[in-house]
Amino acid sequence: MVGWCRRARPLCLPALATACALLLPGCAPDNEETTALLQHALASTQASVALAGGARPPALAATPLRPAALQPAWAPGATRQPGRAAPATAAALMGVTADQLRRMLGEPAIRRPEGAAEVWLYEAPTCRLDVILYAEGSALVVGLAAARALGGAEGVTESACLAAVATAPAPTPWAAPGPRA
């Protein structure tokens, strides 16, 4: 093999480099690979939000941040103030401030800080609404909003989901069925 590599040196180096490129990533621990994949997915999502005309998300931190613990946005047993004017589409929430969002949809079920941003989760029996708010000056502004149906609720429209979210009662924290995040 060594003799063959000496005779075919121009072909051997690219083949060796390709083999290393293919084999070495398999040696990395899973957590590093997962972190890299998640950072890539986040950067891709931020680019999509920027193209869609949403608030400009802050640049990624050089060191990975630890995820914050999930916290309910209201005290257990408290009644939730319903929203007053749910929009017809999640896209209509883009650029809305946190105060305006609360007036439209009420308090979220969960709020989670993520650096200078916050992730809000609104819940209804048949759907969820994920909202990411980014700091813009001294206010938080909606940069991404996405409604999603739960399990067997395929026929739920985005408009129906937003209306249901705005009028949903406050569930006991983490007791409602279905995926939360």
- Would you say residue 81 lies in a domain? yes
Tens of pLDDT along 101-133?
A: 999 998 898 999 998 899 999 998 889 999 999
Structure tokens at 181: 């995040």
Q: Map residue 162 onto helix, strand or coil.
A: helix
- Would you say residue 58 lies in a domain? no
**Does 84 lie in the same domain as 25?**
no
**Whether this model's pTM surpasses 0.75:** no
Which H, E and C letters describe 60-123, residue by residue?
Answer: CCCCCCCCCCCEECCCCCCCCCECCCCCCCHHHHCCCEHHHHHHHHECCCEEEEECCEEEEEEE
What is the model's pLDDT at position 98? 96
What is the model's pLDDT at position 22? 43
Structurally, the chain folds into a number of domains equal to 2
**Does 85 lie in the same domain as 128?**
yes
- Would you say residue 56 lies in a domain? no
Residue 14 belongs to what domain range?
2-51
- In angstroms, the Cα distances linking 167 to 13, 67, 123 are 65, 30, 10
